[in-house]
Amino acid sequence: MSRGEALFTSEGRLRQECFSLAALRALRAACDAAMRTGWPTVRTPHLFIGLLEEADEAVVRWLDHNQLDGSRLRQNFLELFDMSQQLQTGPIHLHRAGFSQHLLEVLQFAYQRAVQRGGLPVTTADLLAAVFLCEPSVVAECLRRDGYDVSLLLRHLPTS
């Protein structure tokens, strides 16, 4: 089974059993963020928003360690990526067709990270690391432009 096949059924639905419950909540929140901001597909900034909206212990520890305000970051990204005035979108589901090509690569990166650390499920820590480490990272670039030292943020990514 290839990496892509591991994450999606032949019909394109996300294999939810490959993800922790917290990671699934973050992915659903990412779909909601994409719809709220008017995007036709979920992109990596939406996943970052979803991780911030549904922050579990690993994400909260990362935010705290880096002295970041998750609510403010989430709001900044929602505003930065708001296309709702220009684009109209329908429902977005946990389906391959609803994810941008780069987000598919990010999910595969997170899957590989989970396998390397000992196996499934993919966790929020895997997703957060993938958002930053799967190049090019739009999220890292946005934070860099806002004056954040992304190298410090990367040093403190959660491991599990």
Specify burial of residue 140 (Cβ count, 10 A radius: 0-12, 13-18, 19+): buried
pLDDT of the residue at 83: 81
Residue 87 lies in a domain: yes
Residue 109 lies in a domain: yes
pLDDT of the residue at 5: 56
Is residue 87 very low, low, confident or very high in pLDDT (cuts 50, 70, 90)? low
Q: What b/e readout covers 77-102, taking b as 16+ CB neighbours within 10 angstroms?
A: bbeebeeeeeeebeebebebebbbeb
Tell me which DSSP letter residue 39 carries: -
- CA distance to 37, 115, 136, per residue, from 27 (Å): 15, 19, 20
Residue 160 lies in a domain: no
CATH of the domain at 56: 1.10.1780.10
Closest to 21 (Cα-Cα) out of 93, 112, 127: 127
Please tell me the distance from the alpha carbon of residue 98 to that of residue 1, in angstroms, as a whole number. 22
Query: Could you give the number of structural domains in the chain?
Result: 1
- Average of pLDDT values for 125-137? 92
pLDDT of the residue at 6: 83
Residue 32 has pLDDT above 70, yes or no: yes
| Predicted structure pTM score | 0.91
Residue 69 lies in a domain: yes
pLDDT of the residue at 1: 40
pLDDT digits (tens, 9 = 90+) for 58-83: 999 999 999 999 999 999 999 888 88
Residue 3 has pLDDT above 90, yes or no: no
Contact predicate 54/29, CB 8 Å: yes
Provide the residue range defining the domain that includes 132: 3-155
Residue 58 lies in a domain: yes
**For the chain, how many residues are written?**
160
Phi/psi at 13 (nearest 5 deg)?
A: -75, 145
Please tell me the distance from the alpha carbon of residue 80 to that of residue 12, in angstroms, as a whole number. 29
pLDDT digits (tens, 9 = 90+) for 141-157: 998 898 888 888 888 77
- My answer on whether omega of the bond before 158 falls inside 30° of 0, hence cis, is no
